[in-house]
Each structure stands twice: as structure tokens, then as C-alpha cells.
Structure 1
Amino acid sequence: MSNFPHTTAILAMSADGKISPHSGTPARFSSPQDLKHLEEQISLCDAILFGANTLRAYGTTLTIKQPHLLAQRKNRQQTPQPINIVCSSSGKLDQNYRFFDQPVKRVLLTTQKGKENWLNNINKNQKQILFDDYLISEHNQEKINWQQIFNHLKAIKINHIAILGGGEIIASILAENLINDLWITLCPVILGGNQAPTPVGGIPLESPLGMKLKEIKKIEQELFLHYQIIKH
């Protein structure tokens, strides 16, 4: 048995390979069908993980609302909502996001310095503690040690994680060979621009990663592509 959770990256992409028009801005080009697909996928997971820029772009998280998905989670003895893990090495986040009022368990994945930054900021603003727990990356004060973090999550019975972005987070976890599969929604739109972020951006991979196409669905004008990452 693996010492790491099963990890699925889920994202929507334009026909020219972009995940948003500009860095730090939300993607608004996918459809209600894609939102439904995303809700179905995260409903299968024990936790979802996303980066600080994704939180900054949207200010919220997607919660499971469909009654049949909530019932399925109850039957699997899962909590109504997956744990929401926000990754921020610096810990510099705005406490006024609506995310902090949503009915989910919130965990900050950060460095020791990032936790200090966050706690100092909320104490300065006389805010209550807005994260339920913290995951502290060891051995490196600047970057997240993904193998250590994922090993810990597996040990506390987090068996399936969905990674929702952004591109640098996905790239850094791919570089550690820790993503098992990938769902891409290919949307019928062209964004253009040489600064628009891509699904895997910012961190070069040592060698190309192969994938195996497991499933393809067409709903109206969108394609839903499910790939298995070929481990190296």
C-alpha cells in the first residue's frame, strides 16, 4: 500500500491551454456542467487542496450541495464537506474572504514562518483564529515538503485528495511524482496572452510525464478528459 494519498488534480482549461486570463484572476469560462462535474469529483475526496492565489482569486471554496452527493458521503462515513487545505508558504492571507465563513473545516498548510506571519496578522487585527488546524512543512523554511506532508495526511486517514490549483501547486506536486490522475475540462474558448497561466506553470519538470487516457466525456461543447499519470 502507498504511503501517500491518492491524489487527483482537477482543472478547467481553454482550447489554447490557459487556466485563467491573467495570474491571480478567476477563471469564468467554464460551464454549469463543469461546475457540476467539479462538485461530483470533490465529493469523492477526504480533502481538497489549493494554493493561496486560487483563494485570492475566488475568495470562496466550492461546497457540496447536491443531496445525493451528501447522502453518498454519509454512507461512506465521510464528513459532509471535505477538509479544505490552503497552501501558503508565507501565511499572508486576507482574513476577510467569505471562505472563512463557509461551513468547512479549514487547514493552513505552511512553513513555521508562515504560521507565525498568519497568527501575528490575526492577533494584530484582533481576529479569532480562522483556521481549524495547521500543517507545518519541515526541513525547509521556504518551500513545502510535499512528501512529508502527504505522508502525514495518509497517516491521519486522508486517503483521497483533490488538487484544485493553481498551476504552480500542481507543478510542484507533479515534480515529486505525487499526482495519480488528472481531470481536465477542455472548454470551447481561446484566451490568448503570453502571461496567462497554464495548468502546470512555474516549475520545470526533470522529464516529460506520460499519461494514459482513461475516460473521455462530451457534454454539450466541453470535453471532460480523465488521465492517469504514468509513474516514473
Structure 2
Amino acid sequence: MTGRSLGAVTQRPYVTLSAAVSIDGYLDDASPERLLLSNPADFDRVDELRADSDAVLVGSTTLRRDNPRLLVNDPARRAAREAAGRPAYPLKVTLSGSGELAAGLRFWHTGGERLVYSTDRGARRLTGELAGLAEVVALGPAVHLGAVLDDLGRRGVRRLMVEGGGSVHTQFLSEGLADELQLAVAPLLVGDAAAPRFVNPADFPGGSTRRLRLLEARTVGDVVLLRYAPKESA
């Protein structure tokens, strides 16, 4: 376990939020099985985005619910990273204030280096649970995203990909910390109030009348990719 870093401030990473959503804004349905919103071409696009990133971040709720591995799946992309002097896989990052993360999750047993940001209390729990599996960083009484980004910047992370879930996306957007938003909109309607949404109610910068600048809109098979610049207005 390491404590909160007090080193010199460095450049924060460029933050890209990435999510696949239904037409009505859901990340999944409420069934036990994961709802596949993307198609093969879009999964490959996401794999390319991971390969271009220095780190990939996901929230603890998503880890427990989906049990993802968060790998660069294409061997050619991993080889290209290594040829450029980078590790085959980006750093895998998660956040957990409570420290309630089991060592059996696939996240800890695949890919390269792994990092957990937690509270002082949560870190004491995680240090024993994840011994030999991940570095645990204690950030004090709360996990603030600004402190996370500052620490990642000091570690040399220049491009951070955030893959969810909804609470994490909401926090990055409401705190004005996302540089880019990539939404893959699938031709599905979920319509289940119990299912997780892309974002939760929050005070977003500029309020409901602020229009984000659209960077790109294109089809990826039957999915529509929308790229926005959350820090800029249209």
C-alpha cells in the first residue's frame, strides 16, 4: 500500500470516456447475462482504443457485475506496443472507496500491471486481499478523481481510457474531467428502470442547455459512434 503522493504536479492524462449504450441510454439490461450492445466491428474499435491508451480505468461496481478482463485482444496491436517500447497491455486501474473487491476477479489475473485507488480504510483491506496482484494506493478519506489523475500523470500515463460504469462516467462528466466522450449507440431499446444507465442524475457543467461539440458521427456496422468534446461547447 502506498500513501497519497505529494510530489510535483505533472500533466494529467487525456481522458476518453468509452461506452456502448442502447437508444434509450442503458449500459445493460437487468438480466444476469451481459447484454452485448456492440457488434464485432465495434468491439475491434474498442480494442484499438485500448491499445492506443496508457491506462484503462473501470469502476468497482462494473468489476463485480461484469467481471471483465480489459485486455488488448489483437496480438498485432500488443506486438506494436512492445515494438514501440511500451508494455503489451495498458495499465489497468480501478477505484474502490470501500475496498470490497475479491481477489478472484479476472481483472487481477490477466494482462499487465494493475492499480487500485482507495480510501485509507479501503486500502488496508485491499492490501491483504490483493497481495501480489495489484498496487494499492490510499488517497485519504475519499477517492477524488483529481487526485487519481494527478497520480496517473506522475506515473507517465498520457492517455487514459475510462470504460465505466455509469457512476464513474457521471463523476468524470460532472466534475469536468473528461476530454473526449465516445458513445456507441446500439439499435436496441432496454426500457427497464432497474437496468444501469450511462449516466446518473448530476449537476453537469453548463446545465441542460449546454450543447457539447460533436467531433465525429459515423456508423460501425449497425452501431452509430458519436464522439464529443465535453470540455467544449458547440
Tell me the TM-score normalized by structure 2: 0.86
- 2:131 maps to a residue whose letter is I
User: In the alignment, does 2:75 pair up with 1:73?
Assistant: no
The 5 Å alignment of 1:74-223 reads 74-120=82-128, 122=129, 129-138=131-140, 141=141, 143-205=142-204, 207-208=206-207, 210-223=211-224
- Give the deviation of 1:50 after TM superposition: 0.5
User: Deviation digits for residues 79-98 of structure 1, max 9, x if unmatched?
Assistant: 10001001111111122122
Contact 2:173 2:230 in 1 (8 A): no
- Unmatched runs of 5 consecutive residues or more in structure 1: 123-127
Distance 1:130 1:25, change over 3 A: farther
* Number of aligned residue pairs: 223
Q: Distance in 2 between matches of 1:221 and 1:146?
A: 34
- 2:143 maps to a residue whose letter is I
- Give the deviation of 1:25 after TM superposition: 6.7
What secondary structure is seen at the aligned counterpart in 2 of 1:230? strand
- Give the deviation of 1:202 after TM superposition: 4.9
- 1:73 maps to a residue whose letter is R
Name the structure 2 match of 1:62. Answer: 70
- Give the deviation of 1:76 after TM superposition: 3.4
Contact 2:27 2:197 in 1 (8 A): yes
- Give the deviation of 1:34 after TM superposition: 2.0
Tell me the TM-score normalized by structure 1: 0.87
Q: Distance in 1 between matches of 2:139 and 2:32?
A: 24
Name the structure 2 match of 1:22. Answer: 30
Q: For structure 1, which segment, 128-137 or 77-86, has the greater mean C-alpha deviation from structure 2 after superposition?
A: 128-137
- Give the deviation of 1:157 after TM superposition: 0.8
User: In the alignment, does 2:3 pair up with 1:4?
Assistant: no
User: In the alignment, does 2:47 pair up with 1:46?
Assistant: no
Contact 2:53 2:160 in 1 (8 A): yes
Contact 1:9 1:163 in 2 (8 A): yes
Distance 1:23 1:175, change over 3 A: farther
What secondary structure is seen at the aligned counterpart in 2 of 1:55? helix
- Give the deviation of 1:188 after TM superposition: 0.8
Distance 1:23 1:82, change over 3 A: farther
Name the structure 1 match of 2:7. Answer: none
Q: Distance in 2 between matches of 1:76 and 1:210?
A: 38
- Give the deviation of 1:220 after TM superposition: 2.1
The CA RMSD measured in Å over matched residues stands at 2.3
Q: Distance in 2 between matches of 1:79 and 1:217?
A: 31
